[in-house]
Chains A and B, each alone.
Chain A
Amino acid sequence: MRDRLIFTGQLVFTMGVAAFLVVPAILSISAGVTANYFRGISSGVTLQWVAQVWNLYYDTILLSFLIAFATLAVTLIVGVPAAYALHTRGGRLSRLIEEIITLPIAIPGLAIALALLLTYGGFRSFRASWLFILTGHVIFTMPFMVRSVMAVFATVDVKTLDEGAASLGASPARRFLEVIVPNAAPGILAGALMVVTLSLGEFNLTWMLHTPLTKTLPIGLADSYASMRLEVASAYTLIFFVMIIPLLVAMQMLADQGARK
Chain B
Amino acid sequence: MNGAAGHGASVRIEACGKTFADGTRALEPATLDIARGETLVLLGPSGCGKTTMLRIIAGLELPDPGGMVLFDDKDVTSIPIERRNVGMVFQSYALFPNMTVADNIAYGLKIRGVSKEERAARVAELVTLTNITGLENRRIDQLSGGQRQRVALARAVAIRPRILLLDEPLTALDAALRDRLRGELNRLLRELGITTIYVTHDQAEAMELGDRIVVMRKGEIVQIGTPREVYFAPESRFVAEFIGAANIVEGPIERGDLVLPGGRQPIGGDTSQPSTVAMIRPESIIIVDTANAALSGTIDSVGFIGDRQRLVVSGACIKPINVDAPNTIKVEVGDRVGLLIPPGAVRLLPAEN
A interface residues, Cβ below 8 angstroms from B: 156-157, 160-161, 163-171, 174, 179, 182-183, 185
Contact = CB atoms under 8 A, between A and B. Distances in A.
B97 interface: yes
Nearest to A172: B82
Given A160-B90, A165-B96, A169-B82, 15 more contacts: A163-B81, A163-B88, A163-B90, A163-B94, A164-B88, A164-B93, A167-B81, A168-B107, A168-B155, A168-B159, A169-B83, A169-B159, A170-B111, A174-B111, A182-B98
B279 interface: no
B75 to A, nearest CB: 20
A157 B95 CA distance: 10
A111 B108 CA distance: 51
B62 interface: no
B85 interface: yes
Interface in B97-114: 97-98, 107-108, 111-112
B82 A170 contact: yes
A160 B51 CA distance: 14
B53 interface: no
A169 B162 CA distance: 13
A161 B96 contact: yes
B96 A179 contact: yes
Interface of B: 58, 60, 80-83, 85-88, 90, 92-98, 107-108, 111-112, 155-156, 159, 165
B111 A167 contact: no
Given A160-B90, A164-B88, A169 B111 contact: yes
Contacts of B159: 168-169
A204 B95 CA distance: 46
Contacts of A163: 60, 81, 88, 90, 94
Contact of A160 (B94, B108, B112): B94
Contacts of B111: 168-170, 174
B97 A183 contact: yes
Contacts of B97: 156, 183
Contacts of A167: 58, 81-82, 86-88, 156, 165
6 contacts: A160-B92, A163-B60, A167-B82, A167-B86, A167-B156, A179-B96
Nearest to B152: A164
A168 B108 contact: yes
Nearest to A164: B94
Contacts of B87: 167
* Across the A-B interface, the 7 shortest Cβ-Cβ residue pairs: A164-B94, A168-B108, A182-B98, A167-B88, A160-B94, A169-B111, A166-B82
Contacts of A169: 82-83, 85, 108, 111-112, 159
A161 B88 CA distance: 12
Nearest to A175: B82
Contact of B94 (A161, A174, A182): A161
Contacts of B112: 169
Nearest to A156: B97
A136 to B, nearest CB: 34
Contacts of B92: 157, 160
A171 B107 CA distance: 12
Contacts of B155: 168
Given A160-B90, A174-B111, A166 B98 contact: no
Contacts of B85: 169
B196 to A, nearest CB: 14
A171 B98 CA distance: 18
A177 to B, nearest CB: 11
A141 B48 CA distance: 47
A66 to B, nearest CB: 31
A166 B81 CA distance: 6
Contacts of B108: 168-169
Taking each of B58, B60, B98, B156, which has the highest tally of chain A beta carbons within 10 Å of its own beta carbon? B98
A164 B90 contact: yes
A201 B93 CA distance: 44
A114 B188 CA distance: 68
B223 to A, nearest CB: 29
A167 B83 CA distance: 8
Contacts of B107: 165, 168, 170
Contacts of A166: 60, 80-82
A157 B94 CA distance: 8
Given A160-B90, A168-B108, A168-B155, A183 B96 contact: yes
A179 B110 CA distance: 13
A56 B84 CA distance: 64
A171 B82 contact: yes
Contacts of A171: 82
Contacts of B165: 167
A224 B98 CA distance: 48
A185 B159 CA distance: 28
A110 to B, nearest CB: 42
A137 B165 CA distance: 48
Nearest to B112: A169
A183 B85 CA distance: 25
Contacts of B88: 163-164, 167
Nearest to A179: B96
Residue from A157, A166, A167, A182 with most neighbouring chain B CB atoms (10 Å): A167
A70 B302 CA distance: 77
A166 B58 CA distance: 10
B101 to A, nearest CB: 14
B156 A185 contact: no
B11 to A, nearest CB: 16
A171 B87 CA distance: 15
